[in-house]
Amino acid sequence: MYTSFAPLQKLDDPIVTDAGVTLHVLRLDLYQPLLSGRSFGQPCGNKYFKLKYNLQQAKASGAQQLLSFGGAYSNHIHALAMVGQLQGFRTVGIIRGEQILPLNETLQDASDSGMLLHYVSRGQYRQKTNPDYLAQLQREYPDAYIIPEGGSNVLGVKGCMEIVDHIQHSIDNTLMANDCNIEAYSTIIVPCGTAATLAGIAAAAKNKQVLGIPVLKNAAYLDAEVEAYHQALGVPGCGNWQLIHDYHCGGYAKLSSELVDFIERFQQRHAIPIEPIYSGKMFYGLYQLLTKGYFDPGSCIVAIHTGGLQGLRSMQHKMAQLLPLSDC
Ligand SMILES: *Cc1c(COP(=O)(O)O)cnc(C)c1O
């Protein structure tokens, strides 16, 4: 399905009502822009925004090929393969770890979109920002424009600034329930990996409070990264954003029964699919904050559903194992 703008959906939930706030979700998980008259076939969530200006730059530099880095379930690799193909680039994915056959769904999709999968050891993968290693890759793929892991660089952040336009577009073009002054929404909440997405949103929404829920443990270094992105963009010191480090559930891609149980209930209640790596932890954290009375009554919150549902296909089994046995 093609949607030129991501929809904003109101959530009706007693936890939200009891907290005296309103909550809308920006559904980037449904957003599929048209590129060269065609859509991806699968939404790319925030990864489309992170790639947009990187691809423009690649085109301007005359590159024929795009090269980037990711794990075997990477949303970024998946998006790069699809967006690259639609924009007429060949793509190379530097994939962490050994090849495992049959390919998982993520890598099969990438391969079907024409991506060349280049596997490297975990040790080699750790060199992904080392200039010598990048120079070596450039020699191996002379036509390639190299994009960092996750599409996280200043051009990626610049693209993520446009996420805020989608909130505004939806407000301007949809009849919102009038119990909330959505025009004056106060808070945006978003999950964070590298926090490039948060950096873009915070730079574009200077009069909003922007909260990030890091999905990695020990991610205190992210504050400096966001500052550095803002410096590079020329919007230093907005001071309108904050990372809340309490909801990573043990670390990247770590799951707890509590998290999986929350996700099941959330999906049943709202019929909005979420996954346990990013959006699940963001909503889990948000609900904890709501229950704790973190938000001023009357706050109008917009949560960014960043997508990532392609990765859910490989998580179902692990999630089912963590659910309490219901009917036996
Ligand atoms: C990559 C990703 C994120 C994290 O984005 P950052 O810019 O690295 O913080 C969040 N949600 C989903 C679904 C992602 O794929």
Question: Ligand 1 centre from 325 Cα, in Å?
Answer: 31
Note the pLDDT of residue 322.
86
Alpha-carbon distance of 16 to 10, in angstroms, equals 11
Alpha-carbon distance of 311 to 19, in angstroms, equals 32
Note the pLDDT of residue 173.
82
Ligand 1 binding pocket (C-beta < 6 A) is 45-47, 75, 150, 152, 191-198, 278, 306-308
Q: How many CB atoms sit inside 10 A of residue 172's CB?
A: 9
Smallest CA separation from ligand 1 atom 2, residue: 193
Residue of 46, 50, 74, 158 to test ligand 1 pocket, by largest number of atoms within 8 Å of CB: 46
Closest among 301, 296, 262 to 279, alpha carbons compared: 262
Instruction: Check if the beta carbon of residue 16 is closer than 8 Å to that of residue 289.
Output: no
Q: How many CB atoms sit inside 10 A of residue 283's CB?
A: 27
Buried b (16+ CB within 10 A) or exposed e, 192-222: bbbbbbbbbbbbbbeebbbbbbbbbeebeeb
Note the pLDDT of residue 36.
74
Question: Ligand 1 centre from 59 Cα, in Å?
Answer: 24
Question: Ligand 1 centre from 311 Cα, in Å?
Answer: 12
Alpha-carbon distance of 275 to 314, in angstroms, equals 10
Positions of the chain with pLDDT lower than 50, given as ranges: 177-179, 326-328
Residue of 44, 75, 158, 216 to test ligand 1 pocket, by largest number of atoms within 8 Å of CB: 75
19 Ramachandran zone, left/alpha/beta (phi>0; psi -120 to 50): alpha
> Which atom number of ligand 1 is nearest to the Cα of residue 212?
9
Alpha-carbon distance of 203 to 285, in angstroms, equals 23
Note the pLDDT of residue 325.
55
What does the pLDDT look like over 23-67, one tens digit per residue? 999 999 999 887 777 777 788 999 999 999 999 999 999 999 999
Alpha-carbon distance of 244 to 158, in angstroms, equals 23
Please state the separation of Cα 243 from the chain's center in Å.
15
Residue of 223, 306, 310 to test ligand 1 pocket, by largest number of atoms within 8 Å of CB: 306
Please state the separation of Cα 141 from the chain's center in Å.
28
Instruction: Check if the beta carbon of residue 208 is closer than 8 Å to that of residue 187.
Output: yes
Note the pLDDT of residue 180.
56
Note the pLDDT of residue 179.
46
